Amino acid sequence: MKKLVSFLLVIVSVFSAVFIVGCKGCKKPESVNCHDYKINVTFDDKNMLLTGYEVVTFYNYTDTTITELKFNLYGNAYREGAKFAPILCGQTALAYPNGLNYGYMTVDGVEVLGSQVDYSIGGDDKNVLIIPLSTEIFPEESITVKIDFTLKLTNSLTRTGYNDKTINLGNFYPILCAYADDGFKECLYYPIGDPFYSDYANYTVTLTLNEGFNVCSSGVLFDSKKVDGTATLTYKIQNAKDFAFVLSDCFDMVTGSVNGITVNYYYVTDTEPKLTLNSAIDAIKTFSNLFGDYPYKTFSVAETGFYQGGMEYPAMVMISDALQDRSAISEVTVHETAHQWWYALVGNDEVNYAFLDEGLTEYSVALFYELNPNYGFTRAEVIGMAHKSYQTYCSIYDRLFGGKDTSMCRSLSQFTSEYEYVNIAYIKGALMFDYLRIAVSDEVFFKGLKNYVKNYSFKNATPDALFGTFEALADTNGFFNSWVSGEVVI
Ligand SMILES: [Zn+2]
């Protein structure tokens, strides 16, 4: 996500502010390295309801026998009475300009091996669907389940909300919890950061809706049918951690291409859409050269109602229609595009190690400015701003709270404010990479980033994965330890 607290403007703004389809026991095909979703949903724009089902094939690539599956139900965090509201109290008025209102996600039935099963809704906040399996799934085997579900959207500028112009369908379906450290990782919808952690999957998503809508999506349009005023659209994407849509009946679109990738910009109010499109294209060009090829066939940017600066999904990002200033629109577009490498291509646990993707993404923005001087900022200016922001954060916390926690490996639940989160995960994260670059040389730094991408494409990387990649090139373990532990004084 990109906070409205801009990298460049952070100092001044903080105070202004189955049926069973498959079979149990199928061997995982050699060519498949991830799960599979076939989602079929219908959108009712009168009632803002999404209903349908998903057929999910779980491949057991762990070395453990699996006896149950768990899915995160992010949409249920928007319900009345949720213990973990998805929006901070202080941002409720911003996110719900027409007043606080509620949505929900319900599971309406689950079939495994052709039979309805007694699933349960658990987790700490009714945020997890638990499906017991009557047969054990051994390593290298797979199981397919069908889940019927309903999503009710809120009238809000959130990832899963609508306003009078745009409809955000982020996190719109039950998604398999990532499997790590001998268990499925349940995610609570913390209001700070992006509380998401999933494994890679291939997606085929069919959406039926009134044909007056333009659809911005992860993935490539594979099939399209129009019957009696409704459109049925099928999209596909391979090796993705998630899938999302933004819908609007007033979207215009401009299209370009770079390195054989189609880049679409769906906009509503942007008066200079080609400039925004060019920022996305320039970012893809820059980051492909620096880190490795962009991983998908398309990249779509949606200008939409969103209470933060922007939000990333695989092959698709949201940027807020509240961004007025050209440099802010460019910066958010570049930031979200960088997430296609740090989050979409090289994944991570965004709940516990947010600095991995946000720090690298924010530093990628600094690299973008360095290599694209026509955008009007230098590396020295950007890093200088980051220094000032971080030092201001430190002095404020020292003064107000008598000290500060500058450790970087911590859960979203351990940040006391969004201000602290931005300064640790984004700003300190970006500074760490700039100091690393100075310490090891440009040659080693960029080789390390390329190796990180090569070694962890379509995998969830850990901090040790990042540190180990650089340690293989230079003596950097002490450097990283001092930064993430909070010992280093900047
Ligand atoms: Zn971000």
Q: What is the DSSP string of 421-443?
A: HIIIIIIIHHHHHHHHHHHH-HH
In a domain, 355, yes or no: no
421 lies in some domain: yes
Domain final residue, candidates 344, 378, 400 = 344
> From the CA of 359, how far away is ligand 1's center (Å)?
8
The residue written with tokens 């901070």 in the block is: 88
58: Cβ contacts below 8 Å, ≥ 6 apart: 35, 66, 69, 137, 142, 143, 144, 145, 176
Residues 61 and 94 both lie in one domain: yes
Q: In Å, how far are 264, 308, 409, 475, 485 from 481, measured between CA atoms?
A: 41, 31, 10, 12, 6
Q: At what angle do helices 326-338 and 354-371 cross, to 10 degrees?
A: 130
Per DSSP (E only), the strands in 123-240 are: 128-137, 142-152, 154-155, 161-162, 166-169, 175-176, 179-180, 183-184, 201-210, 214-217, 220-227, 230-240
Cα 448 to ligand 1 centre (Å):
21
The alpha carbon of 108 and the centre of ligand 1 are apart by a number of angstroms equal to 33
Sheet holding 175-176, edge to edge: 120-122, 128-137, 66-72, 175-176
Residue 354 lies in a domain: no
Is 397 domain-assigned?
yes
195 alpha carbon to ligand 1 midpoint, in Å?
12
**Is 315 in the same domain as 403?**
no
- Is the C-alpha dihedral spanning 238, 205, 102, 96 positive or negative? positive
Token digits of residue 269: 């109010």
Residue 474 is given by DSSP the state S
Q: Ligand 1: distance of its center to the CA of 76 in Å?
A: 23
Of 149, 153, 147, the residue nearest 79 (C-alpha) = 153
Residues 108 and 238 both lie in one domain = yes
State whether 236 and 374 are in the same domain. no
Ligand 1 mean position to 361 CA, how many Å? 6
Q: How far is the CA of 292 from the centre of ligand 1 (A)?
A: 19
Nearest alpha-carbon partner for 67 in 127, 126, 24: 24
- pLDDT number for residue 2: 75
Q: Is the domain of 192 the same as that of 313?
A: yes
Tell whether 478 and 384 lie within a shared domain.
yes
Domain extent, residue 456, equals 368-485
Ligand 1 center–CA 254 separation, angstroms? 24
Give the per-residue pLDDT at 182. 84
Q: Is 195 within 8 Å of 359 (Cβ atoms)?
A: no
> How many whole angstroms from 226 Cα to the centroid of ligand 1?
36
| 373 shares its domain with 253 | no
- Cα(360) to ligand 1 centroid in Å equals 9
| Whole-number Å distance between alpha carbons of 87 and 192 | 8
Ligand 1 center to 339 CA (angstroms)? 7
276 CA distance to ligand 1 middle (Å)? 17
322 and 174 housed in the same domain: yes
Calculate the alpha carbon distances from 465 to 338, 433, 477 in Å.
19, 15, 11
Number of neighbouring beta carbons within 10 Å of residue 294 = 24
How many CA atoms, within 13 angstroms, populate the side-chain half-sphere of residue 7? 39
Q: How far is the CA of 289 from the centre of ligand 1 (A)?
A: 20
CA of 160 to the centre of ligand 1 (A): 17
H/E segment holding residue 56? strand 49-59
Q: Report yes or no on 293 lying in a domain.
A: yes
In a domain, 15, yes or no: no
How many whole angstroms separate alpha carbon 327 and alpha carbon 315? 22
CA distances from 292 to 242, 259, 284, 446 (A): 21, 12, 10, 11
Q: What is the 43 CA–ligand 1 centroid distance (Å)?
A: 28
Question: What is the 155 CA–ligand 1 centroid distance (Å)?
Answer: 24
Distance 142 CA to ligand 1 centre (A): 33
User: Which pLDDT score, from 0 to 100, does residue 13 have?
Assistant: 38
Residue with tokens 């499906």: 131
374 and 334 share one domain: no
Q: How many angstroms separate the alpha carbon of residue 444 from the centre of ligand 1?
A: 25
Q: Which amino acid is residue 20, in one-letter code?
A: I
Residue 91 CA to chain centroid, in angstroms? 20
Question: In angstroms, what is the span from residue 389 Cα to ligand 1's centroid?
Answer: 17
In a domain, 349, yes or no: no
Distance CA 415, CA 408 (A): 10
Report the separation in Å between the CA atom of 381 and the middle of ligand 1, taken as the mean of its atom positions.
20
Cα–ligand 1 centroid distance for 342 (angstroms): 9
On whether residue 396 sits in a domain, the answer given is yes
Per-residue confidence in pLDDT tens, the chain, 490 aa: 776 555 544 433 333 333 333 334 334 444 446 899 999 999 999 999 999 999 999 999 999 999 999 999 999 999 999 999 999 999 999 999 999 999 999 999 999 988 999 999 999 999 999 999 999 999 999 999 999 999 999 999 999 999 999 999 999 999 999 999 889 999 999 999 999 999 999 999 999 999 999 999 999 999 999 999 999 999 999 999 999 999 999 999 999 999 999 999 999 999 999 999 999 999 999 999 999 999 999 999 999 999 999 999 999 999 999 998 999 999 999 999 999 999 999 999 999 999 999 999 999 999 999 999 999 999 999 999 999 999 999 999 999 999 899 999 999 999 999 999 999 999 999 999 999 999 999 999 999 999 999 999 999 999 999 999 999 999 999 999 999 999 888 8
Q: From the CA of 335, how far away is ligand 1's center (Å)?
A: 6
Expressed in angstroms and rounded, the spacing between residue 1 Cα and the centre of ligand 1 is 4
Domain final residue, candidates 328, 344, 360: 344
What is the whole-number distance in angstroms between the Cα of residue 334 and the centre of ligand 1? Answer: 10
CA angle 484, 487, 490 (to 5 degrees): 90
**CATH (domain of 477):** 1.10.390.10
User: 209: CA distance to ligand 1 center in Å?
Assistant: 30
Q: Which of 55, 151, 19, 154 is nearest to 99 (CA)?
A: 154
Whether residues 321 and 421 fall in one domain: no
CA–centroid distance, 154 to ligand 1, in Å, is: 23
CA of 95 to the centre of ligand 1 (A): 18
Compute the distance from residue 336 Cα to the ligand 1 centre, in Å: 6
**Which CATH number fits the domain that encloses residue 231?**
2.60.40.1730
Q: How many domains does the chain have?
A: 2
The angle at the Cα of 247, spanning 175 to 164, to the nearest 5 degrees, equals 120
Verify that 314 and 374 share a domain, yes or no.
no
CA 98 – ligand 1 centroid, Å:
26
Judgement on whether residues 24 and 125 belong to the same structural domain of the protein: yes
